[in-house]
């Protein structure tokens, strides 16, 4: 819910030139008290099928969630960015090129977000979960934290992933979510592939289906229990991405922050 004590950040639609040369928009959340002299970490959040840059911020309550967690001291001030991936027809190569060559540089220049990989996170729901899994496939070294929720790729090519042990991986879905099938399908699910490869991950299950209640909870858990803390520094590629609360073999334990 929205805070009533005035400790609320701001959201604004920001135009940018996309990978195809057109003008598109991202929506950017900046926390209460932010100014450009601060180099903050950033979480990029993808909607699902049919969504756009406004959906997560408003239906998904990104701003309210971050306002509350930051005010409570559960996470240090963080910038959030949402984008329109429906526009690219879910062509993951275009989406990733647009992200890395257009959105990320814009955020670093305009908002002075940290350029360090361990100060970047990417997450998404449903088709955005597929996008997050695709980010892991080819950009694992560019993000310290990844959250694919309610969708994944079948027959995931884990052997092709460089830096596969770097990102903290929080997989998640609702307990009656049809999107969970891509994680747990025998011989095809991402959980099975990661387990067989010895890659650490955590599996978070929420009460719900393929719905915003599940995804709001997933984002809250991702930010609160997995991302950067006020006192601690996120993992770096050099230490193999050990996360403490992550698990191999698909057995979930109580997660702890890096």
4-42 pLDDT, tens digit per residue, is 999 999 999 999 999 999 999 999 999 999 999 999 999
Q: Is residue 185 very low, low, confident or very high in pLDDT (cuts 50, 70, 90)? A: low
Q: Measure the CA–CA gap between 143 and 120, rounded to whole angstroms.
A: 5
When mean pLDDT is compared across 27-31, 71-75, 164-168, 179-183, the lowest value belongs to 179-183
Query: CB of 203 within 8 A of CB of 173?
Result: no
Q: Measure the CA–CA gap between 115 and 101, rounded to whole angstroms.
A: 13
Burial of residue 3, with CB atoms counted within 10 A of its CB: 0-12 exposed, 13-18 middle, 19 or more buried: middle
pTM for the whole structure = 0.88
pLDDT score of 239 more than 60: no
Closest CA to 79 of 108, 43, 25: 43
Strands (E), the chain: 10-17, 23-30, 42-46, 79-83, 120-125, 145-149, 168-174, 202-206
Q: What length does the chain have?
A: 258
């Amino acid at each position: 819910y929205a805070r009533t004590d005035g400790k609320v950040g701001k959201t604004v639609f920001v135009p940018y030139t996309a990978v195809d040369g057109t003008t598109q928009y991202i929506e950017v959340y900046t926390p209460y008290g932010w100014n450009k002299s601060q180099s903050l970490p950033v979480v990029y959040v993808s909607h699902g099928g049919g969504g756009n840059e406004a959906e997560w911020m408003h239906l998904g309550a990104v701003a309210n969630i971050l306002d509350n967690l930051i005010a409570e001291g559960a996470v240090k001030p963080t910038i959030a960015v949402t984008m329109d991936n429906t526009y690219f027809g879910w062509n993951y190569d275009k989406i990733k090129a647009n992200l890395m060559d257009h959105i990320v540089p814009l955020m670093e220049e305009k908002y002075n977000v940290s350029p360090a990989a361990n100060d970047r996170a990417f997450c998404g729901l449903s088709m955005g979960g597929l996008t997050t899994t695709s980010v892991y496939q080819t950009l694992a070294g560019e993000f310290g934290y990844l959250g694919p929720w309610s969708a994944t790729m079948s027959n995931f090519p884990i052997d092709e992933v460089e830096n596969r042990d770097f990102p903290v991986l929080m997989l998640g879905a609702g307990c009656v979510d049809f999107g969970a099938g891509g994680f747990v399908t025998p011989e095809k699910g991402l959980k099975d592939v990661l387990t067989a490869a010895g890659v650490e991950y955590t599996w978070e299950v929420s009460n719900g289906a393929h719905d915003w209640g599940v995804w709001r909870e997933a984002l809250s858990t991702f930010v609160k229990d997995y991302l950067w803390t006020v006192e601690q520094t996120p993992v770096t590629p050099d230490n193999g991405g050990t996360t403490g609360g992550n698990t191999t073999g698909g057995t979930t334990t109580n997660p702890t922050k890096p």
